[in-house]
Every structure is written in C-alpha cells, then in structure tokens.
Amino acid sequence: MNVVRNVISTACFMGIITMMTDMISPAGPMKKNLMSLLGLMTLLAVISPFVSSGFRLTLSDIDLSADIELEKAHTSADVEEIFLDEARSRCDEYFTDLLNKNDISEAKVSTKLIVTEDNEVGITAVEVILTDESYAEEVRQLISAEVSGTEIIIGKAEDEKADSTVGR
C-alpha cells in the first residue's frame, strides 16, 4: 500500500514540476526537449518503486478465476437480455405493421418472449391494447393466424391493466 501511495505522490509532484516548467520555459525547440526530459523523469519516478527489490508480484499470486466466472455469468445473462429485447422489439413492430395493414391503427402491441433450451426464441403471449373494442375479434384472428397456439390478450386502452381482457 505504501508503494502505491509513493507512486501517486511522486506522480503528483512531478506533474506540478512539469506544469511550472512548462509555464516558465521559453517557446521553441528548447521547450520541446525540456518537456521530453521531464516526461522521461516522471515515467522513471513512477516506475522505480515497482522495480525496487522489495516489490514482487507474479501472476501466480493473483487468483481471478472466481471473478472471471462471475463476469461470465453476468455477461451471458446480459447478452440474453439484449437479444430478447431486440427480438421483442422486432416482434412488436411486426404485429403493429400487420394490424396497420388491416386498418387497425390505434393498437399497442407487446410481445412476451422466452429463450428455449435449444436457444430459440419462443412467443408465449401477444398483448394488444385497443382503443376501439370492435376490432378485438379481427385482431385475435390476425395474430392467431401468424402464431397459432399462442395466448392472445386483448385489452382496452382505458383500462389500468391489460389483465382485463375482451373476448378471451
């Protein structure tokens, strides 16, 4: 810990010296050479505590296997979630376009998806919120023609939840 503290204080001190030298040195090739020399001195001052005889660090001293497994699990979950979000967005867009082509323009579609054991995307339910209930049966027929066997939930836009369905 003292080594790190020494490195930080040395770097700060050398930074201050470099800044002051930069302000008072004359412009031209002399300034360029002086800055290069100060940069080299700063680099050596920061590296020197690590190369001293009392500091030893080997890769065998560091065990990152638990952290790597944890990150791997998080990454897999993140990738799956990103994949599902993109697939959900595309399904919602597809069903919205399908309804728009059939003159049902004021509908909000939300698709429920899962990833199966075979790493395939499965549609578990399609939820449609309508402002006009008279289109409920037509919407049900259009969506069931595309994804047969999937639960189709149709709700009214004024409802607080989509759980209250029409024509279930």
Q: Which residues lie below 8 Å from residue 87, measured CB to CB, with a gap of 6+?
A: 113, 121
Residue type, 129: I
Q: Kindly provide the residue ranges of all beta strands, DSSP E only, lying in the chain, ordered along the sequence.
A: 107-115, 121-130, 151-156
| CATH class label, 65-156 | mainly alpha
Q: 151: which strand partners?
A: 125
Higher-pLDDT residue of 112 and 65 is: 112
Nearest to 11 by CA among 42, 49, 41: 42
pLDDT in tens, 2-32: 777 777 888 888 888 888 888 888 888 888 8
d(CA 113, CA 78): 16
The sign of the torsion formed by the CA atoms of 27, 32, 37, 42 equals positive
pLDDT in tens, 92-126: 999 999 998 988 888 899 999 888 888 788 889 99
